[in-house]
Chains A and B, each alone.
Chain A
Amino acid sequence: ELKVEQNPLFLSMQEGKNYTIYCNYSTTSDRLYWYRQDPGKSLESLFVLLSNGAVKQEGRLMASLDTKARLSTLHITAAVHDLSATYFCAVAGTYKYIFGTGTRLKVLA
């Protein structure tokens, strides 16, 4: 059974600092997704990672995928308050996505 674990679950950081969110998954998958969710809102797609070694960047966020280690990271550079949200990774299983538990990020001014 495919399982997805994220850590940390909660992250409070100062503006301007860097940090990394980790996403581990238990079995082979060929697609990994990162989403952002603001309170009471739907999921906003951030990145789709399709192959080993894939790296994608958008603004202050950069995602990478290591399929051999079954690990994806979401790196935050010079955090700003607007990045405060919950971030989910999701791995494509057969027919469905398996979501991580989410990382609730709070960026303090």
Chain B
Amino acid sequence: NAGVMQNPRHLVRRRGQEARLRCSPMKGHSHVYWYRQLPEEGLKFMVYLQKENIIDESGMPKERFSAEFPKEGPSILRIQQVVRGDSAAYFCASSPLLTETRGETQYFGPGTRLLVL
């Protein structure tokens, strides 16, 4: 059973360009979470999605950032008009479908390291 996959692993963008980060959850997992890790900091929650639904986006910046998890295909975290402050590692995690929503075990992917020049 493959783990959580993310691509690309490294992404370089110039200011003003768009960044698209992809996450394929583990097989059988229908919950996806995105976290951001700024240099020298811990991981900060951004968004929680289920198939075709955004459940909690309380950690997402109000502008330029969006996320989706379509019925088919990977989850996408999209950053428009990137700025230098967007440089960070972006981690995706997934969890299986469970009846309870609290305390689900999340499995983390290898991360995408975004560098904005």
Chain A contact residues, CB within 8 Å of chain B: 29-31, 40-43, 45, 48, 88, 90, 92-102
**Known: A92-B102, A94-B102, A95-B101. Is A42-B109 also a contact (CB below 8 A)?**
yes
The residues of B with any CB-CB pair to A shorter than 8 Å are 33, 35, 41-45, 48, 55-56, 59, 91, 93, 101-106, 108-111, 113
Q: Select one of B35, B43, B101, B103 contacting A31, CB under 8 A.
A: B103
Pairwise interchain contact A96-B45, C-beta atoms closer than 8 A: yes
Does A96 contact B33, Cβ atoms closer than 8 Å?
yes
Given contacts A40-B113, A42-B110, contact A96 B56 (CB under 8 A): yes
Q: How far is the CA of A92 from the CA of B95 in the complex (A)?
A: 13
A29-B102 Cα distance, complex, nearest whole Å: 9
Given contacts A48-B105, A92-B102, A96-B56, contact A43 B45 (CB under 8 A): no
A15 to B91: give the CA distance in the assembly, Å. 32
Contact B103 A30 (CB under 8 A): yes
Q: Is B113's CB under 8 angstroms from A99's CB? A: no
CB-nearest residue of chain B to A97: B106
By Cβ-Cβ distance, the 5 closest A-B pairs, closest first, are A99-B42, A96-B45, A92-B103, A31-B103, A42-B110
Q: Contact at A42–B55, with CB atoms within 8 Å?
A: no
